[in-house]
Amino acid sequence: MARRRRSSQRVTMGEVAQLADVSPSTVSLYMRRPDEVSPRRAEKIQSAIDRLGYLPNTMAGGLASSRSNVIGVIVPTITNSFFSATLETLERHLRSAGYQLLIGNTEFDESREEELIRSVMSWNPAGLVLTGFLHSRKSLSLLANSDTPIVEMWDYGRPGLDMVVGFSHHASGRLVAEHMLGRGYRRTAFISTNFQRDVRAGDRYLGFRETIEAAGGRVVLRQLSGRSDTAETGRLLGELIAENPGIEAICCSNDMVALGVMFECQRQGWPIPDRLAVAGFGNQDFTASTVPPMTSVEPPRQEIGRHVARLLMARLRDGTTPQEGNLDLGVELVVREST
């Protein structure tokens, strides 16, 4: 596990001013009204801020040396039930202990995550919860200069900054592949959201492809241009089958993509699973009600929230990390009629 440099003292505005060779009042003006600072000085101040990992403290003067009761949680999206169930569980457990969540949504944008981390850390939070392991260089610098407890969630298998609660997306893809191989499917495809936008979908694809190919099968990949879109998914599926008519089964990066595949199969009159077997990821509420019911991977949404809260509470209570501070909660494949 990667180690962060822990410091009991925050970088001060005076240190930023000294490095930038300006007065503290100029730094203060830049933080409040950057347009009123000359471009040359603004560039020097921002360079010093980035180098030192300076975070302005929004707490009132008397509370500046104390932690707030805020715990920041940064997720890539709040538009589906993946993260909402985790957030609800996390909020319930932390609220009962007197903490409030400050939630940020990155829309899968690393630079947006950096802005949110800077904003949350300015509140001197009691803890910070991030999604996944991939963060920008500036974000890592900000976090390395903080002694705030950090939990990275919804992923597993790489070195973390502090504590980790999640599951292996690579193993999730392998699980679907093993199921399809067990049903006799060898000619398969993977339809996904864009990997640059959703790196965890890329991990699921690798687990799926490596398992299928190790058994002598074949995987054809198609990626959507942006978010899960049933119309674009249908178009991609039509092109995929026209070019690869022997495809027997489709693994999708999430349930919404799988739903788009099923819509297109119904439009084309392709029976599921006789013509195409279809599997998703997420096991969202609608998967049991599709026609036919959809096979999907069930991630431990509530369990992640519960364990994140437990680890944070242990750290905040006595400054220690439980022995199992790096948790792989695993996933379950819910097999239904679509495969």
Q: What is the CATH number of domain 66-167+303-332?
A: 3.40.50.2300
For the chain, which residues make up each domain, given as ranges? 1-54, 66-167+303-332, 169-298
Q: What's the burial of 235, exposed, middle or buried (CB within 10 Å: 0-12/13-18/19+)?
A: middle
Average pLDDT, integer, range 256-260: 95
Surface-to-core class of residue 284, CB atoms within 10 Å of its CB (0-12 exposed, 13-18 middle, 19+ buried): buried
- The tens digit of pLDDT for each residue in 165-207 reads 999 999 999 999 999 999 999 999 999 999 988 899 999 999 9
Domain 169-298 has CATH 3.40.50.150: no
Q: Tell which residue, 21, 2, 127, has the closest CA to residue 73.
A: 127
Query: Does domain 1-54 correspond to CATH entry 2.40.50.140?
Result: no
pLDDT at 323 over 80: no
CA 82 to chain centre: 10
Percent over 70 (pLDDT), the chain: 92
Percent of the chain with pLDDT over 90: 64
Round to whole Å and give the CA distance between 121 and 10. Answer: 11
pLDDT score of 232:
92
Query: What phi and psi values does residue 163 have, to the nearest 5 degrees?
Result: -110, 150
pLDDT at residue 59 above 60? no
Confidence of residue 336 (pLDDT cuts 50, 70, 90): very high
Note whether 249 and 309 are within 8 A (CB): no
| pTM recorded for the entire structure | 0.80
Distance of CA 329 to the CA centre of its chain: 16
Q: Which token pair is 94?
A: 């932390």
Quick check: do 66-167+303-332 and 169-298 share a fold?
yes
Q: Look over the chain and give the mean of its residue pLDDT values, rounded to a whole number.
A: 89
What letter represents residue 52's amino acid?
L
Q: Report the pLDDT value the prediction gives residue 57, as an integer from 0 to 100.
A: 61
Angstrom distances, CA of residue 120 to CA of 127, 138, 213, 325:
10, 15, 44, 23
